[in-house]
């Protein structure tokens, strides 16, 4: 067992180190002779508070050619009023005419609808709980995209702010230890594909050719499934470090974070009873039981988590609570599995999944 756990931890370290070097390479930028029109596409359901932070950061951008289109998905707060109050010709809203049709997840349907109004050469999908961190942020992201091959779909490692940090800090840890990004382009395997749904960008021509949201219309983990779909269609997801450009305020507090992760934790572990049990046991042994075999495994866990915490901008106290994060995670996974098995998963007042 000790040898097996040592191999698992070694693989995690190699994956993390490979990804850190990979992220350094993707910080290259271009200086284009002309800047393409970019459509920034944002789904918004009950996002008034977040939009009061996001929209001013978009208005402040020095990028010369962009439009912002927001889809108000039956919001019950002041989302539409906040959109209407934004005095900027580059920013406009679209109101939904009713709930998503049967068979569609709300966010996916919102993204599908908002693309119908986009005019840009690039589609920049962005969550409403985001914030661009300085006036040059959008320009630098676009310049980075323009250095990539024509078949690229760009996604990002964002700076995570807001509440629920003990749980939220597991997101960059999974992103950087769970998928070897340097291998994504080298191998055609569908499993080597994913996106971070908080932010991703694609050429409008590729989008119109593939119409990807029709392929994932009922997927709670639409970003992972989109990444895999793009792989099957010859496109390559690229992960870049945008922690200096883009912050995301995922949740208000730990209760909100628990409710949010409840909808997808089971799916991240395969979404089927057999795969869930196997991955759950692997996670449990790797992060919770391994320190009982050797204190070196506890040190390994701390190093892995601290490295991803630093990159995502978490304070030191979050890293010091690493054992608590990995203790809460399997409890959350079990809660998520139970809610999926009993058909009780919901988010923002709507039933999801199933």
Residue 313, Ramachandran bin (φ over 0: left; ψ between -120 and 50: alpha; else beta): left
Strands 246-249 and 159-161: parallel
Q: What tens digit of pLDDT does each residue of 196-231 get? A: 999 999 999 999 999 999 999 998 889 999 999 999
CATH (residue range 25-249)? 3.90.550.10
Q: Which residue has 């901008």 as its token pair?
A: 313
122 burial level (CB within 10 Å; 0-12, 13-18, 19+): buried
> Closest Cα partner for 104 from 46, 49, 43, 47?
43
The overall longest dimension of the chain from CA atoms, in Å, is 62
Calpha distance 124→263 (Å, rounded): 25
What backbone torsions phi and psi does residue 155 show, to the nearest 5 degrees?
A: -135, 175
For residue 71, the SS3 value is strand
> Closest Cα partner for 74 from 129, 113, 39?
113
Calpha distance 262→273 (Å, rounded): 16
> Closest Cα partner for 129 from 258, 248, 253, 260?
248
Q: Which residue has the higher pLDDT, 45 or 353?
A: 45
Instruction: Please tell me the predicted confidence (pLDDT) of residue 33.
Output: 72
CA distances from 132 to 20, 35, 48 (A): 23, 19, 17
Domain ranges of the chain: 2-20+254-351, 25-249
Q: What tens digit of pLDDT does each residue of 66-77 get? A: 999 999 999 999
For residue 43, the SS3 value is strand
Q: What tens digit of pLDDT does each residue of 342-354 get? A: 888 877 777 776 5
Q: What tens digit of pLDDT does each residue of 263-301 get? A: 999 989 888 999 999 999 999 999 999 988 999 999 999
* pLDDT (average), residues 245-267: 93
């Amino acid at each position: 067992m000790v040898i097996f756990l040592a191999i698992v931890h070694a693989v995690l370290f190699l994956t993390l180190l490979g990804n850190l070097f990979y992220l350094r390479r993707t910080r290259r930028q271009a200086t284009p002779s002309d800047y393409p029109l970019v459509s920034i596409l944002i789904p918004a359901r009950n996002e008034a508070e977040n939009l009061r932070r996001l929209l001013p950061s978009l208005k402040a951008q020095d990028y010369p050619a962009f439009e912002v289109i927001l889809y108000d998905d039956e919001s019950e707060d002041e989302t539409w009023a906040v959109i209407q109050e934004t005095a900027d010709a580059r920013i406009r809203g679209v109101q939904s005419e009713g709930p998503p049709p049967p068979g569609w997840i709300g966010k996916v349907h919102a993204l599908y609808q908002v693309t119908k109004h986009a005019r840009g050469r690039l589609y920049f999908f962005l969550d409403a709980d985001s914030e661009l961190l300085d006036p040059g942020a959008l320009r630098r992201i676009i310049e980075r995209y323009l250095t990539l091959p024509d078949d690229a779909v760009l996604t990002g490692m964002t700076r995570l702010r807001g509440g629920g940090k003990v749980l939220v800090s597991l997101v960059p840890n999974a992103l950087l230890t769970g998928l070897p990004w340097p291998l994504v382009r080298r191998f055609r395997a569908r499993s080597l594909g994913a996106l971070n749904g908080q932010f991703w960008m694609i050429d409008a021509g590729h989008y119109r050719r593939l119409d990807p949201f029709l392929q994932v219309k009922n997927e709670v983990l639409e970003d992972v499934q989109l990444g895999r779909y793009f792989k099957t269609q010859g496109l390559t997801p690229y992960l870049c470090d945008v922690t200096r450009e883009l912050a995301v305020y995922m949740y208000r507090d730990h209760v909100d974070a628990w409710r949010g992760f409840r909808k997808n934790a089971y799916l991240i572990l395969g979404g089927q009873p057999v795969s869930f049990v196997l991955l759950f046991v692997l996670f449990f042994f790797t992060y919770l039981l391994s320190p009982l075999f050797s204190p070196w495994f506890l040190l390994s866990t701390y190093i892995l988590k601290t490295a991803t915490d630093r990159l995502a901008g978490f304070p030191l106290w979050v890293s010091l609570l690493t054992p608590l994060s990995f203790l809460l995670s399997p409890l959350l996974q079990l809660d998520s599995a139970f809610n999926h098995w009993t058909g009780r998963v919901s988010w923002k007042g709507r039933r999801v999944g199933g």
